Amino acid sequence: MPIDLYYFPPSPPCRSVMLLAKSLDVKLQLKVINIINGDQKSPEYAKMNPQQTIPTLDDDGFIIWESRAILGYLVNQYAKDDTLYPKDPKERALIDQRLYFDASYISQRATEYFKKVAFMSQLVNEDDLEKMHETLQLLNTFLDGQLWVAGPNMSIADFAIVVSVSNMEALGVDLNEYPNIANWYTRARSAMPGYEEINQAGAMMMGEMFKNRLKELTQ
Ligand SMILES: N[C@@H](CCC(=O)N[C@@H](CS)C(=O)NCC(=O)O)C(=O)O
């Protein structure tokens, strides 16, 4: 049975799921939900996912949403080993910590910065910019002496966080201010199959939207 992914190309959490699926060689049947047009508000979609968000995965009738939960599910169900999401309680706890850090800090702060300009007609918010830099400083510290965000091995946390970091870069943040991040980012981009087409294209779309809107607002 095909695995359906309800998604929209520029959506960051959708991109992390697609990146991981590509790495695991899991084939997804992509179904576009255009959130700009409000497709996620349709009664059919709400019946499947009452939270009305993308991504949503439908694996032969098993429905799951929240991208980081989907990442864990894909490894648990389809990976040939558990290296990307180890069963060892301590290793897994560290990965979960990074995933929650991404959900509540990194991705959150990139979204705040982006959406005020792109959807709320506000100019760049300096506090939001400062908050993005605070989280990058923390991530840079986590990466001190580490190859990957949760230690010596690549994990699903790298898939979630690479998307958030690429968004910040597309929004104009200079990652070279954070040497550990810059090195890890280069490493992750070359280690993740399909990275450029799956993630970078979406991040660029977000960046263009942000810059164009900013130009309109300041003209
Ligand atoms: N924490 C969720 C976030 C999902 C989310 O908010 N997705 C956005 C698109 S990036 C969405 O569905 N927006 C539509 C809406 O909120 O109406 C995840 O990681 O899956």
Percent of the chain scored above 70 by pLDDT?
Answer: 100
Record the pTM. Answer: 0.97
Q: How far is the C-alpha of 19 from the C-alpha of 111, rounded, in Å?
A: 20
Token pair of 181 as six digits = 């991040």
Token pair of 117 as six digits = 């300009």
Instruction: Give the closest residue (by CA) to ligand 1 atom 6.
Output: 53
Question: Is the Cβ atom of 167 under 6 angstroms away from ligand 1?
Answer: no
User: Sheet harboring 3-7: ordered strands across?
Assistant: 28-32, 3-7, 56-59, 62-65
Read off the pLDDT of residues 13-61 as tens digits, 9 standing for 90 and up: 999 999 999 999 999 999 999 999 999 999 999 999 999 999 999 999 9
Map out the domains of the chain with their CATH numbers: 3-78 (3.40.30.10), 89-217 (1.20.1050.10)
Ligand 1 centre to CA of 9 (Å) is 12
168 CB-side CA count, 13 A? 31
- CA torsion 168-169-175-178 (nearest 10°) is 20
